[in-house]
Amino acid sequence: MSQIYLEMNHVKKTFGELEVLKDISLSVHKGEVVSVIGPSGSGKSTLLRCATMLEKMDGGDLSFLGEKAAWEENGKCVYANKKQLKEIRKNFGLVFQNFNLFPHYTVMKNIIDAPVCVDDVSKEEAKERAWKLLKQLGLSDKADAYPYQLSGGQQQRVSIARALALQPKVLFFDEPTSALDPELTGEVLRVIRQLADEHMTMVIVTHEMQFAKELSDRVIFMEKGLVCQEGTPEEVFGNPNARVKEFIGRVMQV
């Protein structure tokens, strides 16, 4: 088996009284595409937020490419120091449902900002990378546009370019097409498919069942903070347990 890029073991997360992640383990190998599906409120976003350290876990461990970001010590979750976390953060990027572009920056500035300001990449190199990405994502003519001048699908492609500009090893998507009109969904899914063809390692939370079925190496169905079923798309969609069957039936109908 190839190298493990992301590993999470026995992750727990509570908000007050609410146990949102009860005991989740997930490992993603180099080049793998893992889709996370499940009903609203099952903890999918929280799982991504814990994986990308936007949220602190209450238990369990987290590592990227074998580097420990967090682990349990005396029943508590301890994180690596700031400097180590900064290095570990370079391994991944995150694409949100609502694009989260800076509204007062042009497309180009949105893409080069983090590489230049956070990653100490030279401006020329960052721009060179950005032009390549814009071309790849069909946005060459949009470098000087502001987000409000773009369609939702174009904005989402810019936010994918922005994440890729940091050259992550793992890319996380949290419902990347949920805020889009159906006719704009396709252009974003095509870009993700293109990345999968290039063997980008990805974890994708999605409601697009057909897409998850076709694209993923592995599908994880989450419910109430636990993994309810996990397997290849053939296993999960071809032989779903009762709960998954009910969910898929409901989602694929609408």
Ligand X SMILES: Nc1ncnc2c1ncn2[C@@H]1O[C@H](COP(=O)(O)OP(=O)(O)O)[C@@H](O)[C@H]1O
Residues that bind Mg ion (CB under 5 A): 44-45
Residues 6+ apart with CB under 8 A from 6: 26, 27, 28, 51, 63, 64, 92, 170, 201, 203
User: Taking the chain, what is the end-to-end CA distance rounded to the nearest angstrom?
Assistant: 38
Nearer to ligand X (CB atom), residue 99 or residue 121: 99
Residue 239, Cβ density class (10 Å: 0-12 exposed, 13-18 middle, ≥19 buried): exposed
Cβ 204 vs Cβ 195: under 8 Å: no
Q: Which does 15 bind (CB under 5 to 8 A by kind): Mg ion, ligand X, none?
A: ligand X
- State the Cα–Cα distance between residues 145 and 104, nearest whole angstrom: 10
Give the binding range for ligand X (CB under 6 A) out of 15-23, 69-77, 126-134, 138-146: 15-23
Nearer to ligand X (CB atom), residue 94 or residue 111: 94
Nearer to Mg ion (CB atom), residue 115 or residue 225: 225
Question: Tokens 């974890």 correspond to what residue?
Answer: 203
Report in angstroms how near the CB of residue 55 gets to ligand X at its nearest.
Answer: 7
The binder of ligand X chosen from 6, 20, 28, 139 (CB under 6 A): 20
| String of contacts with ligand X for each residue 36-75, x by CB under 6 A | ----xxxxxxx-----------------------------
**Residue with the CB atom nearest Mg ion in the bound state:** 45
* Binding positions for ligand X, rule: CB under 6 A: 15, 18, 20, 40-46
